[in-house]
A and B are shown apart, each in its own frame.
Chain A
Amino acid sequence: MSAAAQPDRLTPPPLAPVTDDPDTGGFFAAAADGQVALRYCADCGALLHLPRAYCYRCGSWNSGYRVVAPRARVYSWTVVEHQIHPAYPVPYTVALVELADEPAARLVSFLPGRPELYAGQELHAWFETLTNGSTLVQWRPADSQRPNEEVS
């Protein structure tokens, strides 16, 4: 599915995420397994997003990742028209999404081109495997059939 972000052979691959950070690595490990997971306090259940080890609410160090539904809604978006980085040829869209199970948690997603989006639009996760083997959680409209469908 990595073709979505590589419209032609001259485009370098997307920036890969650091996947072995002690605080955030679990998110990317889950992504590699095809799951969306958020970090929670195992004792009081507080959401710890962006991921970190310590629970500010109950003082526990006992936290870990829990799988959530791979569904989200559009919170905001921007269509990038000014070229910044060779791995991201314009136009493309960055969406800010809120997770269906956990609206307090947001993630961002790459979408090729200028897709028609609206606030609250339902999105489904898909998992983009990069050439270095790491995996990104990306989102596309729930009614979209193909990951690299480009609407411009």
Chain B
Amino acid sequence: MSETSWQPGACAIAGIGTSDFTKKSGRSDLTLATQAVLAALDDAGLDASAIDGIVRCDMDLVRHNDLAEALGIRQLTYWGECGPGGVAPCAMVGQAVAAIMSGQASTVVVFRALNGRSGRRYGAGSTATGQQAAGGNGSYDEFFLPHGLLTAGQMFALMARRHMIEYGSTEEQLGSIAIACRDRAQANPAAQMYGRPLTMTDYLSARMISEPLRLFDFCLETDGAAAVVVTSTERARDSKNGAVRIHAVAQASVPGTQPGMMFPVLMRDSITALSSRAVADLLWSRSRLGPADVDVAQLYDCFTITLLLQLEDYGFAKRGEGGAFAADGGIGLTGQLPCNTSGGHLSEAYIHGMNHVVEGVRQIRGTSTAQIPGAEVSLVTSAPPPASSALILTADR
């Protein structure tokens, strides 16, 4: 790991916003993005004229100039994008910090918008037909799609099975993660699963999707958007709700990272550890903090197994013991590491990692619907494949 001159807390999040979370928004991706950004600007007490930078996710349909035009931004001096997909959000915040620290922008909007249910459904797999050959052009899909490996869920099922083989993890342990997230959503009226509690019996009797993963091991599909406003901590202190310090941010890949978008990560030396383990090393180093210092975490949860693996990658549980950590209440409200307090992707909404950043800010402000009393160190992660990012938010006090 290379030494870098990261400056803890030089920048901060000044505003947060989301749209509503639905299955059928009836609105364009651009309208959803605009609503979330306007909410974030209002939360910060800023006008769109204050924005001179935009960072987007590579899978977003909304381009920086689409959003700039919709908001009436006079001039952008910086724009950027990160990816692929869910890897991006924490790294997008990092890119905003980089733009601000290098003097390329002063106030940057970071957003994600998608009609993930009524529009393009990521769980639908490849749309290729028998008439089109799959793969090529560096995708490496020719090694996977023709064999019926078609979706992210199927790939994470292979990882979950392997974790069971190596460590004896159980379906009930995965279920405990789904239930913990669902429990948190019961306090969050904005969550798609608000008012729909989940028991272990419900979990185990739900239909199998790709064994060993069942229906509730999968995240939601959501139409919605989320956004944050990043600026210098000094400027953020003047905003309506004050500054939440970006204490550290990290993005990292692993040796032997493998090419392609998704499936090639199955070729790595281990499929029961994610690139998150490399992010963790960098994040703890930059923040001079460790797992024991974290008060609350929003761990990327496209699937239950993804959260389980990160418990180990970030050092909250020993290798192989992430499932037991969760099943023993470790991720609950009174556990060692309260996780996904808005309900996460499994039960609040799937905004591809961006709603996790918003909830991480709420925990520092003390405004979560499942508030951890006195939370001062808030971890947010964005996860693979094929690389990862994370950030630590702290209180400005």
Contacts and interface: CB of A to CB of B under 8 A. Distances in A.
Given A15-B145, A85-B125, A94-B147, A76 B165 contact: yes
Interface stretch (B85-93, B129-137, B193-201): B129-137
Contact of B147 (A13, A20, A24, A138): A138
Nearest to A89: B148
A138 B148 CA distance: 11
Interface residues of B, number: 47
Contacts of B324: none
Contacts of A28: 142
Interface in B200-217: 207-213
A88 B150 CA distance: 10
Instruction: Name the residue among A12, A16, A92, A104 with the largest chain B CB count within 10 angstroms.
Output: A16
A80 B264 contact: no
Contacts of B264: 50
Interface stretch (B12-20, B32-40, B153-161, B355-363): B153-161
B130 A16 contact: yes
A78 B136 contact: no
Interface residues of A, number: 46
Contact of A16 (B133, B143, B150, B208): B133
B142 A108 contact: no
Given A24-B140, A49-B267, A78-B154, A18 B209 contact: no
Given A24-B135, A108-B147, A136-B147, A81 B210 contact: yes
Interface in A83-107: 84-85, 87-88, 92, 94, 96, 104-107
Main secondary structure of the interface of A (DSSP, over half): loop
Instruction: Name the residue among A21, A84, A105 with the largest chain B CB count within 10 angstroms.
Output: A84
A79 interface: yes
A15 B146 contact: yes
Contacts, number: 135
B133 A110 contact: no
A108 B209 CA distance: 19
Interface string B51-65: 000000000000000
B262 to A, nearest CB: 13
A52 B259 CA distance: 10
Instruction: Name the residue among A18, A27, A49 with the largest chain B CB count within 10 angstroms.
Output: A18
A50 B259 contact: yes
Given A24-B140, A76-B165, A85 B150 contact: yes
A135 to B, nearest CB: 10
B130 A87 contact: yes
Contact of A18 (B134, B159, B267): B134
A96 B133 CA distance: 22
A80 B154 contact: yes
Interface in B234-271: 258-260, 263-264, 266-267, 269, 271
B260 A80 contact: no
Nearest to A109: B147
Interface string A102-145: 00111111100000000100000000001110101010000000
B367 interface: no
A76 B140 contact: no
A36 B264 CA distance: 18
A8 to B, nearest CB: 15
Contact of A94 (B128, B149, B213): B149
A11 to B, nearest CB: 10
Contacts of A104: 269
Contact of A17 (B129, B134, B159, B267): B134
A77 B146 contact: no
A5 B345 CA distance: 34
A36 B26 CA distance: 50
Contact of A50 (B134, B140, B148): B140
B164 to A, nearest CB: 9
Interface of B: 124-126, 128-130, 132-138, 140, 142-151, 154, 157-159, 161-162, 165, 207-213, 258-260, 263-264, 266-267, 269, 271
Given A14-B146, A80-B211, A82-B207, 5 more contacts: A16-B134, A21-B135, A27-B143, A79-B210, A106-B267
Interface of A: 12-21, 23-24, 27-28, 49-50, 52, 75-82, 84-85, 87-88, 92, 94, 96, 104-110, 119, 130-132, 134, 136, 138
12 contacts: A14-B146, A14-B148, A24-B136, A76-B162, A78-B213, A80-B154, A80-B209, A81-B210, A82-B209, A94-B149, A131-B130, A132-B133
